[in-house]
Chains A and B, each alone.
Chain A
């Protein structure tokens, strides 16, 4: 089954404790992306990757890191989480290019930073 998986689905952590949210897709997609969803703000892009070893900042990259060592994986790293990073995070993937390719979304990771 074609899918994007994220782990963990729920995470409660404390300020400053490094964490990683994993994202994996099995569709051989070149493009992967991370979004955060906050009430009243919709989805905002954090980072995206056009292919292996190619990453770029989205609209709200501060406090986040990503890596793309393999095509299928695109982990999101919070080196020193802060309470304002409490949010619902989505990973997405699609074929690359300028066509109307569907972005497939993972189920989301709800992160709480206390």
Chain B
């Protein structure tokens, strides 16, 4: 399968911005995703970006895509305690298949 890399842990103070990074391998990926997993729950789609875009903004979320470096980032503005979760980036490849990164745990400190 494809290889998607993420750093593992981030702590951030409430109200600050948090940035999660991800690198992926398949340059032909058409869609890249960010999923959120809250404790004891399944994954929930946060946002996605099409590969012909450099940036996508959705309320407090900003996704940046650098296709040349195969680098994807998620910025969460004004981080809230409810943003504490594990965040997974994923790339679409093959027949609807998703390759996930290892996840990045975000802990928001009040």
Contacts and interface: CB of A to CB of B under 8 A. Distances in A.
A31 interface: yes
Nearest to A9: B40
B102 interface: yes
Q: Which of B4, B6, B42, B44 has the most CB of A within 10 A?
A: B42
Interface string B16-51: 000000000000001101000000111111001010
A100 B92 contact: yes
Contacts of B45: 102-103
Contacts, number: 66
Interface residues of B, number: 25
A60 to B, nearest CB: 9
A108 B42 CA distance: 6
A41 interface: yes
20 contacts: A33-B96, A33-B98, A35-B100, A42-B100, A43-B43, A48-B95, A50-B95, A59-B1, A90-B42, A90-B43, A96-B95, A96-B96, A97-B96, A100-B30, A100-B33, A100-B92, A106-B42, A107-B41, A107-B42, A108-B42
Given A98-B30, A105-B44, 17 more contacts: A33-B96, A35-B100, A40-B8, A40-B102, A42-B88, A42-B101, A43-B88, A45-B1, A45-B97, A58-B1, A90-B42, A94-B96, A96-B95, A97-B96, A100-B30, A101-B96, A102-B45
Interface of B: 1, 4, 6, 8, 30-31, 33, 40-45, 48, 50, 88, 92, 95-98, 100-103
